[in-house]
C-alpha cells in the first residue's frame, strides 16, 4: 500500500489520532531530519489506509493535532 511505502523510510511514529468523524487517521512522524522542521503529518483514510494528504516539514515532532470545522 502507499502508506507502507512511506514508512519504509527511517522515522518514528509520534502520534496516532482518529478524526472526530472517524473517517481519517492522523499519523505524526519524526522523520529523523536534522533541524527544527523534522516532523511530518499524514492523513490516511481510516478504512483503506490510503494517504489522503501529507504535511511535510512541520515544526518538531508532532504529538497532537486539533481539527477545525
Q: Give residue-wise pLDDT tens across range 24-62.
A: 999 999 998 899 999 999 999 999 999 999 999 999 999
pLDDT band at 4 (very low <50, low <70, confident <90, very high): low
Bridge partners of 43? 26, 53
What are the distances in angstroms from CA 58 to CA 12, 29, 48?
Answer: 14, 10, 25
Sign, Cα dihedral of 44, 20, 11, 30? positive
Residue 67 pLDDT level (bands cut at 50, 70, 90): confident
pTM score of the predicted model: 0.82
Instruction: Enter the DSSP assignment of 19.
Output: -
Q: How far is CA 67 from CA 7, 8, 9, 26, 31, in A?
A: 24, 28, 27, 10, 22
Amino acid at each position: 500500500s502507499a502508506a507502507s511505502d512511506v514508512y519504509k523510510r527511517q522515522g518514528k511514529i509520534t502520534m496516532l489520532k482518529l478524526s472526530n468523524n472517524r473517517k481519517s487517521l492522523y499519523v505524526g512522524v519524526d522523520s529523523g531530519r536534522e533541524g527544527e522542521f523534522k516532523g511530518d503529518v499524514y492523513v490516511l483514510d481510516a478504512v483503506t489506509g490510503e494517504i489522503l494528504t501529507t504535511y511535510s516539514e512541520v515544526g518538531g515532532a508532532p504529538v497532537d493535532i486539533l481539527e477545525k470545522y
